Amino acid sequence: MSRLRILLILVLVLAASGCAIHVDTFRDYDEPLQEIVLQGEAKAKVLVIPVRGIVSTSPSEGLVSRGPSLVQEVVSHLNRAQDDPDVRAVVLQIDSPGGTVVASEILYNEVMRWRERTGTKVVALQMGVAASGGYMASLAGDVIVAHPSTVTGSIGTLFISPNVAGLMDKLGVSAEVYKSGSHKDIGSPLRDATDEERVIMQAMIDEMNGRFLALVAQRRGLDRTALEDVADARVLTAQQALVLGLVDRVGYVQDALDEAKRLADMPGDARVVVYRRTKFAEDNLYNSATNDYQGRTPVLMDLGLPALSGAGVSGFCHLWAPDFD
């Protein structure tokens, strides 16, 4: 029996029985962030901040749970570190395909402004995926380190809007829209776009993407020729990104930590710290959670359903979303 069929059966059973699932949203997120030391004994600290998942300002939604948005959680970490003079370097541990245009720009801007306020060095460590808005977050680093198997790049912009017009036709369903202007419902999923609307939307995408490319050129020092090589928004391996100048080196987590210590002129035994809301036994740097419920969904049963990288995302995005192909 397929997973989708199992899910549908469960939904029907719950609906038929009149059951309602009560979940305490943001469970445990009312707990303050606490510092956990993972390595080292010196006074100076390197703070590792996970940047994981879709870049958004909206709460993360599970099947029966909610949590803070990625932007909210990263800013919480930065605010927590701001008053600690011993935090002399930050490693952004990025594993993200990107997200909305606005959220991606906010995340980049928040890290940059925090750097200016504190004078703290920042290293961007790219993990599995650091594409599109995930790459934009990397641009906030003084140095970018890509894991040897990282997928990065995808420097581009798209507009995502579902189109259910064909389905409505098959079902014999239609919608009447009353509007004040001819383009008031541009991007509507209820009908196909007109040629004029496609021109309008493409102009908006080009403008937003122009800001992205200008930021890449500024932060990475790329000339026009090099910028043209990445302007087609393809994804890249770590080695390809290194050749194009999009990252500074290829390495592992410890290499990024060593780079952070070097930039901030810190001793080799500087403390490596993370902020958690829940303590974990035998914690280490490969635990990207800040909470016992982050990174997994506290549901009544695990349905084993695959997650789509761009599920639930719409509008203008800096996002690598192969699941939509």
Instruction: Name the residues annotated as catalytic.
Output: 132, 184
Q: Tell me which H or E stretch contains 250.
A: strand 249-250
Sign of the alpha-carbon dihedral angle for 298, 300, 304, 309: negative
11, 112, 147, 249 from 18: Cα distances, Å: 11, 50, 49, 56
Q: Distance (Å, rounded) from C-alpha 84 to C-alpha 181? A: 53
Q: Distance (Å, rounded) from C-alpha 78 to C-alpha 83? A: 9
CB environment 13-30: b (16+ within 10 A), e (fewer):
eeeeeeeeeeeeeeeebe
Q: Tell me which H or E stretch contains 127.
A: strand 121-131
Q: Tell me which H or E stretch contains 135.
A: helix 133-138
Under 8 Å between Cβ of 247 and 126? yes
- Tracing tokens 């029907």 back to the chain, one arrives at 12
SS3 128: strand
